A and B are shown apart, each in its own frame.
Chain A
C-alpha cells in the first residue's frame, strides 16, 4: 500500500508530517500570546516629566479616565510627580504610579522612594507599577531577582498586587521569568490595528500602551495612550484593590446574581427570581408568576390588600384600582371588580382545599414597627427603578430589571427576627394578622395563609413549595370572625382585619393571660 504511492504523494505526506511536527515542536522560548482587546476598553494616559506642565482639567475633559504617573526613574525623582499626583486626583481621575525600574539599583531603595512619594493609596488608586524595560547591563537572573525584591516589598507595604509594565520582546529576552505571571500585565506595543502580542507566560493583559505619540487636550506634545481591557466599572473595582469578579447572571433561589456577582434577594420585595423574561434574572411578583420556571403572563390580580394590580407579560406589576364602590375579587383565576360583600355576613369557614386563588405565601416579614408602610419601591441601582432601598447583601446592586411598586406585603425591609407578641398589636396597621408564632405580620401572603388559602411558598423558600397548602387554625378563624365573608364567594380574598380589631384581639389575649396567670399562648397556625 505504502509502496504504491507516487513520489508526489510521498512528498505531500512528508510535507504534512513536517508541518505537523513544526507546529507541535516549534520554538517555545518566544511563544507569545495574541490577546485582542475585549469589546469595551477604557482610555487613559501615562505621563512623566516629558509631558511638562499638564492641564489636568483638560485631560479629564478629553475623556481620559485614568492616568499612570511616573514617580521616578530608578532613584531619580520625576520633578513633575509632586504636582501631577494630587492634580490627577483632584480631577477625579483614577490614578496610578509607576517607577522606571532600575535593575542596577537597590530595589528596596527604589520601592521605598515610590512608597514615600506616593503615600497611602485610596480606593481610586491603582496598584503601583514596575516599569520593566531596562536591564542596566544586568543578566536576566539579576533583573528577575531584583524585580522580585521590589514587588515583594511594595506588595507587603501596600497590600496591593503590583502591576508589571513590559513589552514581550524585552521580557522574554531580558527577564525570562514566569514567576510574575500572577501580576497584572500592562503591555507595551505600539500599533493601532493589531492585537497585543504579549509576553509569555501571561495569557491576558489589563492595560495596553498602544502609542507614544498620542495627542490629548491639556498636554503639549505627545503622550502615551493606553487601553484598559474592560469596562469602567471593572477598572474602578480593580483600582479598589480587588480583581473584578465576573459572574454569569442567574438566579440562586430568590436571589438575583448579576454579572458583577452582586446579589439582591427578590424575596425581600415579595418576589421571585426568574430568568423567564428575556433570559436575564429578574424579580417578578409572586402574584404574577406561580413559579420561577414559568414565564409571566399579562393578567389582573387581586392583592391581599384588596387592590387590583395588573401583571404585565414582562413581569412588571402596577396598580390598577377598581372603580369606586367596588372591590377586587378573584373569580376563576381572574380579577374582577365587584360590589363589596355585605358586612353582616357571619364568620367564614374557609376550606383550604376549596380556595382556588393563590395568595402566595411570602417570607416577607413584618415591617419593623408595624406602622403604616409605603408601597415597596424598587432598589435604586436597578434599571427601571426610580428610587428605593438598596438591595441588601450586595456589594454591587444587581444589574437586573426590577418589578416596580410590588404593592403587596408592604414589608420589604422588615426583619423576620423582629418577632413581637400580641402586646404590640395595638400599633399594627390595618392589614396585620397574627402569625403562627404569635408575631404580627403585615404581608399579604401570611395573611392569606391565615385565611387558609393555598400558599405559594416561592418567595421565601427559594422557589420551592409553590402551591403548598397551609391549614389555618383558630387564630385565623378568630381574625376572620368579624369579617364579611360571602359563603358564595370563597375565592374572594377576605378583607384583612382592621388594626382596631387586631389590637382588641391582642389586648383580650393579653388580659386573659394575665388574669388567669396561665401560660396560655395564642394558638399557633400550622
Chain B
C-alpha cells in the first residue's frame, strides 16, 4: 500500500510549491542588524524600474528590478552612503532567481524574505523624509529587509535600540 502511494505522494509534494516562511522583524531588530541607517529624502521620481530579461527565455515576462532614489539627509548608523542614493529591493538577486525559476520551470516559490513591520502604510511621496535601513552589496545598495523604510520621527528609537546591549 505504502509502495503504491509513495509515487503519488511524491508527485503531489513536487507539484505543490512550498510556502516560504518570511520572518517579520521589528524596529529594534532591524536597527541592530542593518549596517547602515540613514535619514533620506524621497527623490522625484522616487523610483525607477529596469526590466531584466530572463536568461534563455527572451519571451518570458522580464523581472522588474525596482530601484528607489533618495537624497541623503543624515547618516544615523554606519558608513555614510552617497548623497544621491539608488537602492535595490531587499535580496533582489534572490527575487530575480525566484522569478526565473517561476517563469522557466513553473516553480513559483516566493523567496523567504525578512520583512520589516514599520509604520508606513504606503509608498512615501517625493520630498518626504524617511529612515532607510541599508546594506552594501556587490551591486551597490539594497534595503536591509523587505520594506525597510520608516517614519523619520522614529530616528530616536533607532539610536536607542543601537545603544542597548
Give me the interface of A with B, judged by CB distance under 8 Å. 46, 48-52, 73-77, 100, 102, 104, 133-137, 212-214, 220-224
Contact = CB atoms under 8 A, between A and B. Distances in A.
The 5 closest A-B pairs by CB, nearest first: A222-B121, A136-B45, A212-B121, A76-B49, A221-B117
B109 to A, nearest CB: 14
A221 B44 contact: no
Contacts of A48: 122-123
9 contacts: A46-B122, A48-B122, A50-B121, A50-B123, A76-B66, A134-B126, A135-B126, A212-B120, A213-B121
A102 B119 contact: no
Interface in B109-132: 115, 117-123, 125-126
A50 B122 contact: yes
Contact of A137 (B44, B117, B118): B44
Nearest to A135: B44
Chain B contact-residue range equals: 10 to 19
Nearest to A136: B45
A153 B147 CA distance: 32
B157 interface: no
A77 B64 contact: yes
B147 to A, nearest CB: 6
A512 to B, nearest CB: 83
Interface of B: 24, 44-47, 49, 64, 66, 115, 117-123, 125-126, 147
A212 B150 CA distance: 13
Contacts of B121: 50-51, 212-214, 221-224
Nearest to A100: B123
B119 to A, nearest CB: 5
Given A48-B122, A50-B121, A222-B119, A75 B45 contact: no
Contact of A213 (B24, B64, B119, B147): B119
Contacts of B147: 49-50, 52
Contact of A224 (B24, B64, B122, B126): B122
A102 B117 CA distance: 26
B123 A76 contact: no
B44 A75 contact: no
Contacts of B47: 73-74, 76
A135 B45 CA distance: 7
